[in-house]
């Protein structure tokens, strides 16, 4: 069924290309931006959209003699819509690049389309490790969940945390987060007392937290999709787990900058590993945060830098190819690209097309009356550990 659609799409694309007689040559590079502006992941979509707009405002809409045109489509947080929209963008609008993809399933459904239609798929948000392996035209500017999960495991082991209960959401990135953390933590001699998986649509964490607390761990390792962190955090303190001396560690999704101000003091002291904090101390980031907050009324989060760097990657690649926008040239140009992002130095891995970046250990603290993830340790140039282990 799926391959039938794809063939159809490709056939139609070929016809379309004939009919329009090489629209590419006319000097426009089209980017189909598919993100969720409504539905569950809407906050991610809005962050990415805001970052893309900001980048274009700062750098203009012409690069290497080509005009950049971004076509925004709302997936409504439904992967099926993403697929349909990607198809329409490729066939009707002749986009050169499809970008966005806030959740893993959305990135995965678009992969066969990218392969067959020879279009670059730029993943700006989704974090499951396998995504970049699904098509030779996929490049990622966000992060992989294991990058953070492995680093926090290292940090925990170095900081006298011996017994951990893991709590992850019951879906693919959750398993990634659980597996990477567990393997690394055990290799350091750590002990996993319990591995709890909570349903994705879970309104009340109380029973899971109680179970975790009864196991008396040194720390609870948490992975929930960005958006659920607040509820979790509230219930963690409500249960008095912080007072019982149980530390809360996790990947940075749980203390998402977008939600952190609303979490209240409950979040203070949470230690997470992640690639971006709005509090990152660098000139590039200060300028980025100031410009972002001026243009929008919210703080940029880690999803926004995925969008911002994604746009940078497109611009830089087009400069390198001197405006050639076919997938082969673009991908070749993108491989090995290095630059200074608001999150710090980053690079596109020439082998895997995935991102190599610093992972920071941060602790939630109050600064000028606002909660921030304050970075205090840096693990330099971390590659996706899952793909690194396969070699």
Residues that bind another protein (CB under 8 A): 38-40, 42-43, 46, 170, 196-199, 201-204, 206-208, 210-211, 227-228, 230-231, 234-235, 237-240, 258-259, 262-264, 298
Q: Tell me the C-alpha distance between 371 and 268, whole Å.
A: 8
Tell me the three state secondary structure of residue 189: coil
| CA dist., res. 205 & res. 214, Å (int) | 14
Residue 358 CB, nearest approach to another protein (Å): 27
Least Å distance, CB 199 to another protein, is: 4
First to last CA, the chain: 33
Minimum CB distance to another protein, residue 200 (Å)? 9
Minimum CB–partner distance for residue 294 and another protein (Å): 18
Residue 353 Cβ, how far from another protein at the closest point, in Å?
31
Nearer to another protein, 154 or 258 (CB): 258
Per DSSP, the three-state class of 259 is coil
Cα–Cα dist 229/247, whole Å: 15
Q: Give the shortest CB-126-to-another protein separation in angstroms.
A: 18
Closest to another protein by CB, 109 or 212: 212
Q: Which is nearer to another protein, 80 or 265 (CB)?
A: 265
Task: Decide: residue 196, CB within 10 A, 0-12 exposed, 13-18 middle, 19+ buried.
Answer: buried
* Pairing verdict, β 219-223 and 191-198: unpaired
Is 211 or 338 the residue whose CB approaches another protein more closely? 211
How many other CB atoms are found less than 10 A from the CB of residue 240?
A: 10
The distance of closest approach from Cβ of residue 88 to another protein in the complex, given in angstroms and rounded to an integer, is 22
Taking CA 27 as the corner, what is the angle to CA 26 and CA 29, rounded to the nearest 5 degrees? 115
Task: List beta partners, residue 372.
Answer: 365
Name the residue nearer to another protein (CB basis): 10 or 42: 42
Residue 379: count other Cβ atoms within 10 Å of its Cβ: 18
250, 282 in Cβ contact below 8 A? no
Residues 6 or more apart whose CB falls under 8 angstroms from that of 255 comprise 229, 233, 263, 267, 270, 272, 362, 364, 373
Decide whether 237 or 352 has the Cβ nearer to another protein.
Answer: 237
Q: Which is nearer to another protein, 6 or 213 (CB)?
A: 213
């Amino acid at each position: 069924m799926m391959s039938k659609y794809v063939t159809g799409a490709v056939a139609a694309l070929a016809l379309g290309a004939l009919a329009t007689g090489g629209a590419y040559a006319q000097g426009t590079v089209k980017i189909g931006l598919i993100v969720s502006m409504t539905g569950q992941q809407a906050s991610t979509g809005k962050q990415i959209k805001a970052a893309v707009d900001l980048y274009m405002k700062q750098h203009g809409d012409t690069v290497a003699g080509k005009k950049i045109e971004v076509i925004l489509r709302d997936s409504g947080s439904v992967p099926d819509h993403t697929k349909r929209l990607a198809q329409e963008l490729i066939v009707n609008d002749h986009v050169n690049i499809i970008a966005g993809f806030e959740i893993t399933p959305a990135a995965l459904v678009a992969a066969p389309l990218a392969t067959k239609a020879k279009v670059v798929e730029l993943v700006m948000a989704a974090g499951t490790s396998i995504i970049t392996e699904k098509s030779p035209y996929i490049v990622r500017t966000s992060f992989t969940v294991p990058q953070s999960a492995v680093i926090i495991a290292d940090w925990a082991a170095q900081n006298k945390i011996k017994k951990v209960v893991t709590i992850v959401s019951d879906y693919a990135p959750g398993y990634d987060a659980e597996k990477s953390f567990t393997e690394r933590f055990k290799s350091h001699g750590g002990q996993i007392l319990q591995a709890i998986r909570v349903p994705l649509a879970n309104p009340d964490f109380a029973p899971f937290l109680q179970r975790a607390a009864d196991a008396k761990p040194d720390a609870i390792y948490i992975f929930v999709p960005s958006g659920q962190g607040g509820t979790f955090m509230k219930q963690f303190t409500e249960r008095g787990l912080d007072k019982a001396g149980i530390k809360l560690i996790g990947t940075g999704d749980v203390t998402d900058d977008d939600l952190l101000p609303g979490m209240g003091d409950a979040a203070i002291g949470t230690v997470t590993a992640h690639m971006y904090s709005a509090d990152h101390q660098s000139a590039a980031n200060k300028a980025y945060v100031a410009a972002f907050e001026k243009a929008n009324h919210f703080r940029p989060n880690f999803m926004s830098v995925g969008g911002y760097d994604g746009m940078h990657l497109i611009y830089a690649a087009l400069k390198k190819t001197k405006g050639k926008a076919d997938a082969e040239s673009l991908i070749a140009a993108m491989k090995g690209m290095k630059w200074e992002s608001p999150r710090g130095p980053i690079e596109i891995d020439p082998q895997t097309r995935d991102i190599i970046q610093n992972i920071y250990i941060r602790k939630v603290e109050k600064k000028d009356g606002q909660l921030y993830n304050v970075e205090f340790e840096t693990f330099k140039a971390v590659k996706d550990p899952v793909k690194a282990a396969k070699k």
